[in-house]
Amino acid sequence: MKDQKHFEVIIIGGSYSGLSAAMSLGRSLRQVLVIDSGLPCNRQTPHSHNFITHDGEVPAVISAKAKIQVDLYDTVQFYNGLAISAIKTESGFEVNTESRFLFTAKKILFATGVRDLIPNIPGFAECWGISVLHCPYCHGYEVKAEKTAIIANGEIGFEFVKMISNWTKELKLVTNEKSTLTSEQTKILQKHNIEIVGDEIDSFFHENGKIQNIIFKNKSKIEVKAIYARLPFEQHCPLPEALGCELTETGLIKVDMMQKTNIDGIYASGDNSIQARSVAMAVSSGSFAGASINKTLIDESFA
């Protein structure tokens, strides 16, 4: 990159949302630095879906093409590395990287995503994003009518089963412990021939991330081709919290309709701040965040 240390905007996170914001800001003639450590949440997922013009594309191909296009805007620069600290100053922000580079900017956009907390089930991590799925809109069509399990319990499990039943009737609810469904919920699932399995999971048997069987600790097993699970998560980057950004009850960065956090000059977009996790949603929120930041900079220049 050029020997430049001062920018109008620093974007931390150079995946779909960060690149989309960078394009908006580049087209707005803003001096932008994108800092990215190269670890997108969906790096293991073989194909991205439900994003027009890119349906079925390898996620890394989408981001690589986007980076090439964003790099054409000469006011946008990239730094490959990890941002490890950030402080608020009188004129904006200072950001330090792991390699001890210091950059400053008037505004910061965190497009840093989240980190899924993988349960300690052998085979789960290897299957996550391949045959263990989080979103039917992203992946449900590819496993329609297949033998499918949902790992969940209680109200979440009941609602998840209702949703996934739109894609397949070959469905089992695996609660992985004693069921906490109400008697009414249980009757409804039984009416729809959906089995509730309360045995504790031991491991997943798979081939190259493609699930074949769920093995239980009582030595029983069920054959499946797909599993849906909603995992707990944490913020991939600790800097927003360190700067004082508020989180929602579910652990997302709290933003307003303009993608602004509670800290003046700090914005967030993508998976770290929106419930609907998909490439299309990340791109949308990033593009809007870029426009929002540009509007703020324009307003400040007329103050």
Question: What DSSP string describes 231-287?
Answer: --EEES-SHHHHTT--B-TTSPBP--TTSB-SSTTEEE-GGGT-SS-SHHHHHHHHH
What pLDDT shows up at residue 2?
65
> How many C-beta atoms lie closer than 10 Å to residue 199's C-beta?
18
The pLDDT value recorded for residue 59 is 87
Q: Using one digit for the tens of pLDDT, what is the confidence trace for 77-104?
A: 999 999 999 999 999 999 999 999 999 9
Write out the chain's pLDDT in tens, 303 residues. Answer: 667 899 999 999 999 999 999 999 999 999 999 999 987 766 778 888 989 889 889 888 999 999 999 999 999 999 999 999 999 999 999 999 999 999 999 999 999 999 999 999 999 999 999 999 999 999 999 999 999 999 999 999 999 999 999 999 999 999 999 999 999 999 999 999 999 999 999 999 999 999 999 999 999 999 999 999 999 999 999 999 999 999 999 999 999 999 999 999 999 999 999 988 899 999 999 999 999 999 999 999 998
Supply φ then ψ for residue 48, to 5 degrees.
Answer: -105, 140
For residue 112, what are its two tokens? 């840093």
The whole-number pLDDT of residue 56 equals 87
Q: What letter would DSSP give residue 143? A: G
Residue type, 279: V
Q: Is residue 152 within 8 Å of 131, Cβ to Cβ?
A: no
Helix or strand run (H / E) with residue 103: strand 102-110
Question: Facing residues of 138 across strands?
Answer: none
Cα→Cα distances 132→67, 77, 125, 164, Å? 29, 36, 9, 13
Res 77: pLDDT: 97
- Residue-wise pLDDT for 109-149, tens only, equals 999 999 999 999 999 999 999 999 999 999 999 999 999 99
CB-side exposure of 81: number of CA atoms within 13 Å? Answer: 17
Q: What is the pLDDT of residue 1?
A: 60
pLDDT for the residue 40: 74
